[in-house]
């Protein structure tokens, strides 16, 4: 039963003061207060409701107008005013502690601060309240208090609107907070409120200031027209800002500084006077799915070592640069669109860095991407197009690595490189500029590799003013002018390039330009292949120049050319033209079949021709014509094969077999010369199996056998058709047989070489057509016996399984060779041969270092050791790094021998660097505290927390004593039922390892059996190896790890474990492995391999949560989403948890089980409230889970 009292200033009123009525009121009483001003200090110590009727003002000069000393009370329609300044330490109009009081439609003003809400059990609700003209803070929330403010207005106060301090929290929804002299909202000291659907505007300082490790969720808000940054995030604060509109600040839209962090998602940030977003001072925010536009300065400014991740954003139409990166800032920008800027799309300057990948940068007024002043970004998989100026502009010693990009349709050159800039550009397409494709001037440099530069209106390449790039493995074609134009003392080296089908000459060199053209193909120009004029210079080596409409090579106007070991043929005009006082020489080259004559050399020009290969080739042709038929020719071919065989390194068993065959043939030939009948035995062309790892020469051997059997007259052509599963097996029924037969037809008279043939065997799936290809192959090997041979190759074990897969396979193959891994000495010999083939050499120091490195790799090799392929990779890298060394040597000291010799320094640059962890680095205390706090906030897990504390203490001790941290052996087993927090703890441990310096990164690579098991033979080993590479420097987490060993010894999971154990030993200290699963199953897992227990010495047991802990988790889950659980509902939950805990089995779901119950309760509450009339709803009702919302269905365990 409720009671009612009335307070009035009227003469006959029983209660003329509110305090009197409160003293007399019983719990549950409603006190109605009639209009008037009441000068008093009211102490509310019981559950009552005070309701104003009309304009009710409560004022006090000396004390609190209102003091609440009860858990629940309600005040409505009141104006509360503290009218005196600070006295006797009282600095607030109202202080709330340990209460859930509700203020409804109240107004608070004060000559001091307004409202203090403090204490972890303080959860007041303020609805439709108005805070204004307060001298200090309107509202301070601290010490874990959690108020709810709904539809309140907080404005024109001299302090901040709301200040969250000392882990203050709460729920602020649909509020207007504006015009405050200090920031509208301040979140500091680890405070963590939820702010939704609010407006924060027109502050004299920030709209929102998050500082001193503040947190908070700010969602669906508008923050605008504030004098300082609309949102300021600093001092390691980490708020989440979602679905907000942030605009029209007089300063920045968002400023993240002083190591600020935070997440900004799905926001619009626009029309701010300074940069829409500014990131500085080593701050690391994550900005995702945002639109950033129409700033009066930059869209995003990264300065003073700012970092962060910008992902899937649109940055456009800003007055200055859309994205500006400077002063060693190093962001990651992914999947963004950067367009319509009034200046640059992206400008990286003043030693800026950054990784920009999978972005589109287009339609900006200045260069789409500018890199200047020693900056060095990484640009990957981007599209840079439709710029009003250039696509990419590098100046003032800009650098950068640009890979797998498309740069096209820009008005100025697609790429400009000037002022000693030196980028690396790889695997890019550069096309359709209305100017040049790539333009180098003013001593521009650069390494440009494996690119396609085509269809640009001017020259595809223009190189001038002492610029000197290195261009390798590129295609340069279909320019509207020259393919390559080198002028005005431009230089450059073109190696292994194709330059073709350009409108003007493929290569034009004039005005003292000088280039080296090495191993290139230059063909089908509409004018000349190569033209030099006006003192142009060129050295052309090992290249083919052919089928050009003008002269293949034209050298005029005092130019000079060197032509060495080239083929110049089939020109539509003349082959080589030397005119107008030009000079040069040609050595060991072939010039033939040019329509206008092979040579045209004017009398005043000087050109020497040495060892013209055309003449030598004609003499050889004549000698072959005069040789006796049917006798000497096969022997000559066999000698050539033997010479080629002897030049190969290793392969002794193959060599012995082929030598035996050749000796037999030659001996019988010699018997015939003596008239002796040899009774010659017919040697068939044998189908052959080659076992071996990558790079052991299997393809080379297949080609040798083709040549051998041709020379013996057993095959008509000896050519090799190389195939794999993809080229033999169709994708649908009926497509495999024709596909396989077509390749066999192609191999007629030669060799069908099937690499990784084991991939044809049945994968265990119904629609695998590999076995059909084998059946066709067997049938054709029988039907076309002697018409072609089959050589199959692959790893030894897999090839054995392949031969056993079909009963007819093994009997068809009669030669079996194991190609063993090359020894370190053989690998060195291969390296020596590779460089000698390129007219280079290794000095003794380089050979010594290579042998040492190859020996180290050979000792650690596994079945994937790549042999000669590995060597080739190193040699190719040495070719790339050598120029860097030589360019640091004054040219006056250069000699031909020095330029042709690789040194120990080149080898050191080429071989991968071992990154050794430095254990004397200081502990990252901030990151460690963050991770520990996260762990300590988790319910239960006391044993885990103690073990982690113990480990941290040990690490500190080991660091003090300069001891190796690997002695801690951090590979870990996490044992427990589902929902006990294993994965979450693993993520936290990874952070802790990073903070302690045990690991470089806090990244957790999460896998399970499905990620690690492949149907392909050998595939599982490759998968685990790939995941280990990803985890290097971090942690590999294998969930339900016991599933890898529970299906018997033939299961590929055991192979995964073998690779894992080996890598845990070989790469000790480079990554950590955590294996998780049910306790009983994990014991079986550890027993399955003797090495597992030895590697995993740290074990964490995750016990099932106790009923009280399950209740704490329930409360936490509810409060995270803004809901509370009533006391009676908590009792109901606890009883159910106690019963479930007593009857639990191994599938008991723990936190997952709780989540299902709480999520259902919230839905049931929402549905119950939705059915009520709107006028009956209030904030407490909407947010409180009661008994009737708690229900249990099905088997919750």
Q: Token pair 């400023």 is at which residue? A: 255
List all residues 6 or more positions away from 894 whose beta carbon is below 8 Å from its beta carbon.
886
Taking a C-beta distance cutoff of 8 angstroms, is the pair 180, 157 a contact?
Answer: yes
Query: Residues for the chain: how many in total?
Result: 1197
Q: Which long-range contacts (CB under 8 A, 24 or more apart) does 1125-1134 make?
A: 1125/1184, 1125/1185, 1126/1184, 1126/1185, 1126/1186, 1126/1187, 1128/1186, 1128/1187, 1129/1161, 1129/1185, 1129/1186, 1129/1187, 1129/1189, 1129/1190, 1132/1187, 1132/1190, 1133/1157, 1133/1190, 1134/1107, 1134/1108
Structure tokens at 129: 């309240």
Containing 524, the helix (H) or strand (E) segment is none
Q: What is the pLDDT of residues 39-73, one digit of tens each?
A: 999 999 999 999 999 999 999 877 788 999 999 99
**Domain end marker among 910, 945, 965:** 910
Decide if pLDDT at 764 tops 50.
Answer: no
Q: Token pair 């009956």 is at which residue? A: 1176
Distances (CA, A) of 75 to 70, 104, 415: 13, 6, 70
Is there a single domain that holds both residue 1098 and residue 970?
Answer: yes
Decide if pLDDT at 772 tops 60.
Answer: yes
Q: Kindly indicate the confidence band of residue 767, based on its pLDDT and cuts at 50, 70 and 90.
A: low
Distances (CA, A) of 90 to 111, 186, 579, 1138: 11, 22, 102, 48
List all residues 6 or more positions away from 852 whose beta carbon is below 8 Å from its beta carbon.
none
The predicted model gives 535-549 an average pLDDT of 95
The predicted model gives 118-128 an average pLDDT of 95
Selection from 857, 864, 903 nearest residue 882 by Cα: 903
Write down the number of H helices and E strands in the chain.
Answer: 27, 89
Residue with the bigger pLDDT between 64 and 537: it is 537
Mean pLDDT of the chain: 86
Selection from 1063, 989, 993 nearest residue 1025 by Cα: 1063
Most confidently predicted of 509-513, 1033-1037, 1151-1155: 509-513
Instruction: State the helix-helix crossing angle for 982-996 and 942-960, rounded to 10 degrees.
Output: 10
Total Cβ atoms within 10 A of residue 681: 7
Within a domain: 973? yes
What's the CATH number where 780 sits?
3.40.50.300
Is there a single domain that holds both residue 998 and residue 1114?
Answer: no
Is there a single domain that holds both residue 718 and residue 681?
Answer: yes
Within a domain: 10? no
Selection from 200, 198, 206, 153 nearest residue 171 by Cα: 198
pLDDT the model gives residue 854:
81
Q: What is the pLDDT of residues 150-202, one digit of tens each?
A: 999 999 999 999 999 999 999 999 999 999 999 999 999 999 999 999 999 99
pLDDT the model gives residue 1107:
86
Q: What is the pLDDT of residues 868-891, one digit of tens each?
A: 777 888 888 888 888 878 878 887
Decide if pLDDT at 328 tops 50.
Answer: yes
The burial of 1184, by beta-carbon neighbours within 10 Å (0-12 exposed, 13-18 middle, 19 or more buried), is given as middle
What percent of the chain has pLDDT above 90?
47
Is there a single domain that holds both residue 742 and residue 783?
Answer: yes
Q: What is the pLDDT of residues 1102-1130, one digit of tens each?
A: 888 888 888 888 888 888 788 889 888 88
Spatial separation of the C-alpha atoms in residues 132 and 119, rounded to whole Å: 24
pLDDT the model gives residue 260:
95
- Cβ density class 955-983: b for 16+ within 10 Å, e for less: beebbeeeeebeebbbbbbbbbbbbbbbb
pLDDT the model gives residue 627:
29
The predicted model gives 403-413 an average pLDDT of 97
Decide if pLDDT at 825 tops 90.
Answer: no
- The count of domains in the chain is 5
pLDDT the model gives residue 646:
67
Q: Kindly indicate the confidence band of residue 822, based on its pLDDT and cuts at 50, 70 and 90.
A: confident
Within a domain: 930? yes
Taking a C-beta distance cutoff of 8 angstroms, is the pair 685, 790 a contact?
Answer: no
Within a domain: 463? no
Decide if pLDDT at 1194 tops 50.
Answer: no
Residue with the bigger pLDDT between 950 and 599: it is 599
Q: Kindly indicate the confidence band of residue 614, based on its pLDDT and cuts at 50, 70 and 90.
A: very low
Residue with the bigger pLDDT between 819 and 122: it is 122
Taking a C-beta distance cutoff of 8 angstroms, is the pair 214, 236 a contact?
Answer: no
| pTM beyond 0.85, yes or no | no
pLDDT the model gives residue 183:
97
Within a domain: 699? yes
- Lowest-confidence segment of 97-101, 140-144, 809-813 by average pLDDT: 809-813
Q: Kindly indicate the confidence band of residue 896, based on its pLDDT and cuts at 50, 70 and 90.
A: confident
Decide if pLDDT at 38 tops 60.
Answer: yes
- Lowest-confidence segment of 553-562, 669-678, 748-757, 893-902 by average pLDDT: 669-678
Decide if pLDDT at 505 tops 60.
Answer: yes
Containing 1106, the helix (H) or strand (E) segment is none
Is there a single domain that holds both residue 935 and residue 879?
Answer: no
Is there a single domain that holds both residue 649 and residue 787?
Answer: yes
Within a domain: 355? no
Decide if pLDDT at 935 tops 80.
Answer: yes
- Lowest-confidence segment of 174-188, 448-462, 615-629, 772-786 by average pLDDT: 615-629
pLDDT the model gives residue 125:
95
Is there a single domain that holds both residue 1095 and residue 1157?
Answer: no
Is there a single domain that holds both residue 901 and residue 947?
Answer: no
Structure tokens at 627: 């040789």
pLDDT the model gives residue 952:
84
Domain that holds residue 995: 925-1102
pLDDT the model gives residue 1092:
82
* Strand partners of residue 44: 68
Q: What is the CA radius of gyration of the chain?
A: 40
Decide if pLDDT at 1056 tops 90.
Answer: no
Is there a single domain that holds both residue 998 and residue 1115?
Answer: no
**Domain end marker among 1075, 1102, 1129:** 1102
Is there a single domain that holds both residue 829 and residue 764?
Answer: no
**Domain end marker among 607, 626, 645:** 626
- Lowest-confidence segment of 109-113, 350-354, 374-378, 384-388 by average pLDDT: 109-113
- Lowest-confidence segment of 377-381, 676-680, 1099-1103 by average pLDDT: 676-680
Is there a single domain that holds both residue 618 and residue 654?
Answer: no
List all residues 6 or more positions away from 984 whose beta carbon is below 8 Å from its beta carbon.
938
Decide if pLDDT at 1195 tops 60.
Answer: no
What's the CATH number where 846 sits?
1.10.8.60
List all residues 6 or more positions away from 552 whose beta carbon is below 8 Å from its beta carbon.
522, 528, 529, 530, 545, 546, 568, 569, 571, 573, 574, 575, 576, 594
Within a domain: 377? no
Within a domain: 31? no
Selection from 728, 775, 776, 787 nearest residue 756 by Cα: 728
Distances (CA, A) of 403 to 363, 702, 1116, 1130: 21, 35, 47, 59
Structure tokens at 882: 């050598």
Q: Kindly indicate the confidence band of residue 683, based on its pLDDT and cuts at 50, 70 and 90.
A: low
By three-state DSSP, how is residue 409 classified?
A: coil
Is there a single domain that holds both residue 979 and residue 1092?
Answer: yes
The predicted model gives 791-814 an average pLDDT of 77
Structure tokens at 255: 């400023």
């Amino acid at each position: 039963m409720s009671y009612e009292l009335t307070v009035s200033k009227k003469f006959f009123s029983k209660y003329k003061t509110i305090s009197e009525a409160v003293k007399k009121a019983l719990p549950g009483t409603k006190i109605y207060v009639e209009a008037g001003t009441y000068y008093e200090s009211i102490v509310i110590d019981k559950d009552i409701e005070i309701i104003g009727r009309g304009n009710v003002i409560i004022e006090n000069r000396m004390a609190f107008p209102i003091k609440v000393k009860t858990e629940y009370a309600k005040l409505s329609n009141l104006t509360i005013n503290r009218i005196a300044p600070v006295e006797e330490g009282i600095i607030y109009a109202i202080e709330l502690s340990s209460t859930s009081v509700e203020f409804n439609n109240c107004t608070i003003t004060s000559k001091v601060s307004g409202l203090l809400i403090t204490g972890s059990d303080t959860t007041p609700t303020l609805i439709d309240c108005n805070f204004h003209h307060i001298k200090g803070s309107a509202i301070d929330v601290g010490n874990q208090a959690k108020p709810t403010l709904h539809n309140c207005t907080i404005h024109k106060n001299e302090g901040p609107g709301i200040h969250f301090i000392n882990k203050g929290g709460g729920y602020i929804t649909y509020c207007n907070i504006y015009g405050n002299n200090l920031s509208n909202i301040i979140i500091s000291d680890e405070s963590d409120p939820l702010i939704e659907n609010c407006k924060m505007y027109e502050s004299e300082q920030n709209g929102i200031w998050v500082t001193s490790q503040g947190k908070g969720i700010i969602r669906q808000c508008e923050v605008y027209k504030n004098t300082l940054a609309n949102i300021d995030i600093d001092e390691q604060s980490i708020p989440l800002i979602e679905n907000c509109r942030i605009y029209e600040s007089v300063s920045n839209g968002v400023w993240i500084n002083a190591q600020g962090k935070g997440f900004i998602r799905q926001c619009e940030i626009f029309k701010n006077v300074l940069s829409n977003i500014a990131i500085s001072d080593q701050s690391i925010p994550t900005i995702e799915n945002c639109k950033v536009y129409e700033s009066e300065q930059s869209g995003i400014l990264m300065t003073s070592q700012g970092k962060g991740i910008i992902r899937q954003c649109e940055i456009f139409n800003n007055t200055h640069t859309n994205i500006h990166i400077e002063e060693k800032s190093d962001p990651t920008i992914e999947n963004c669109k950067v367009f319509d800027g009034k200046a640059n799309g992206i400008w990286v300057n003043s030693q800026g860095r950054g990784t920009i990948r999978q972005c589109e940068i287009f339609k900006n007024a200045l260069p789409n991407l500018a890199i200047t002043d020693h900056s060095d970004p990484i640009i990957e998989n981007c599209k840079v197009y439709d710029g009003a100026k250039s696509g990419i502009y590098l100046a003032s010693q800009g650098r950068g690595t640009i890979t797998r990009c498309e740069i096209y349709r820009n008005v100025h050159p697609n790429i400009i490189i000037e002022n000693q800039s030196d980028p690396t550009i790889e695997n890019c397409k550069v096309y359709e500029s209305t100017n040049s494709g790539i333009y180098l001037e003013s001593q521009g440099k650069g390494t440009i590799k494996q690119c396609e530069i085509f269809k640009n209106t001017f020259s595809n390449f223009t190189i001038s003013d002492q610029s000197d790039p290195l261009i390798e493995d590129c295609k340069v074609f279909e320019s509207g002018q020259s393919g390559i134009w080198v002028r005005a003392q431009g230089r450059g080296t073109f190696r292994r390039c194709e330059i073709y089908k350009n409108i003007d000459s493929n290569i034009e060199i004039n005005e003292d330009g000088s280039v080296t053209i090495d191993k290139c193909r230059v063909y089908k120009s509409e004018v000349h292949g190569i033209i030099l004029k006006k003192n142009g210079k060129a050295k052309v080596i090992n290249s083919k120049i052919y089928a050009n409409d003008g002269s293949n090579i034209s050298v005029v106007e005092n130019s000079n050319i060197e032509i060495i070991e080239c083929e110049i043929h089939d020109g539509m005009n003349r082959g080589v033209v030397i005119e107008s006082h030009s000079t040069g020489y040609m050595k060991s080259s072939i010039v033939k079949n040019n329509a206008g004559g092979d040579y045209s050399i004017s009398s005043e020009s000087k050109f020497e021709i040495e060892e013209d290969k055309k003449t030598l080739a004609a003499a050889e042709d004549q000698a072959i014509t005069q040789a006796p038929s049917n006798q000497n020719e096969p022997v000559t071919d066999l000698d050539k094969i033997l010479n080629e065989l002897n030049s190969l390194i290793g392969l002794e068993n193959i060599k012995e077999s082929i030598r035996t065959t050749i000796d037999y043939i030659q001996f019988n030939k010699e018997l015939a010369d003596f008239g002796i009948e040899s009774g010659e035995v017919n040697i068939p062309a044998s189908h052959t199996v080659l076992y071996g790892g990558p790079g052991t020469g299997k393809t080379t051997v297949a080609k040798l056998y083709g040549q051998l059997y041709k020379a013996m007259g057993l095959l008509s052509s000896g050519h090799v058709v190389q195939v794999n599963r993809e080229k033999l097996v169709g994708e649908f029924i009926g497509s495999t047989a024709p596909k396989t037969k077509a390749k066999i037809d192609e191999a007629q008279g030669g060799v069908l070489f099937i690499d990784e043939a084991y991939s044809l065997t049945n994968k265990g799936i119904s629609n695998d057509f590999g076995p059909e290809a084998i059946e066709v192959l067997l049938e054709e090997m029988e039907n076309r016996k002697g018409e072609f041979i089959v050589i199959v190759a692959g790893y030894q074990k897999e090839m054995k399984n392949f031969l056993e897969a079909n009963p007819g396979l093994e009997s068809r193959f009669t030669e079996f060779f194991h190609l063993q891994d090359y020894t370190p000495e053989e690998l060195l010999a291969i390296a020596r041969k590779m460089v000698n083939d390129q007219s280079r050499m290794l000095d003794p120091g380089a050979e010594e270092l290579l042998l040492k490195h190859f020996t180290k790799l050979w000792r650690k090799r596994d079945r994937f050791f790549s042999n000669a392929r590995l060597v080739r990779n190193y040699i190719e890298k040495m070719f790339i790094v050598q120029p860097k060394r030589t360019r640091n040597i004054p040219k006056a000291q250069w000699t031909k021998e020095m330029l042709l010799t690789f040194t120990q320094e080149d080898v050191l640059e080429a071989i991968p660097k071992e990154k050794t962890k430095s254990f004397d680095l200081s502990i990252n205390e901030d990151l460690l505290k963050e991770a520990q706090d996260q762990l300590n906030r988790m319910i239960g897990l006391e044993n885990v927390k103690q073990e982690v504390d113990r480990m941290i203490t040990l690490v500190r001790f080991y660091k003090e004593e300069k001891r190796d941290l690997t002695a801690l052996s951090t590979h870990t087993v996490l044992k427990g039922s589902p929902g006990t927090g294993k994965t979450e703890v693993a993520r936290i441990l990874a952070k802790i390892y990073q903070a302690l310096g045990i690991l470089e990164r806090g990244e957790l690579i999460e896998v399970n059996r499905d990620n690690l098991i492949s149907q392909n033979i050998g595939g599982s080993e490759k998968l685990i190896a790939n995941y280990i590479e990803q985890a290097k420097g971090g942690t590999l987490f294998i969930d339900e790890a016991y599933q890898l060993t529970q299906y018997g010894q033939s299961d590929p999971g055991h192979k995964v474990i073998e690779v894992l154990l080996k890598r845990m030993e070989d790469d000790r200290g480079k990554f950590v492995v955590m294996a998780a699963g049910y306790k009983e199953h994990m014991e079986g897992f550890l027993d399955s391999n003797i090495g597992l227990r030895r590697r995993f010495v740290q074990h964490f047991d995750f016990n099932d949560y106790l009923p009280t802990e399950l209740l704490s988790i329930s409360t936490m889950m509810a409060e995270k989403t803004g809901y509370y659980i009533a006391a009676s509902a908590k009792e109901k939950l606890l009883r159910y948890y106690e019963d479930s805990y007593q009857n639990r089995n191994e599938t008991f779901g723990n936190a997952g089980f709780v989540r299902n119950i709480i999520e259902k309760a919230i839905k049931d509450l929402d549905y119950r409230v939705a059915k009520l009339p709107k006028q009956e709803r209030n904030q407490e009702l909407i947010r409180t889970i009661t008994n009737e919302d708690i229900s249990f269905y099905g088997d919750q365990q």
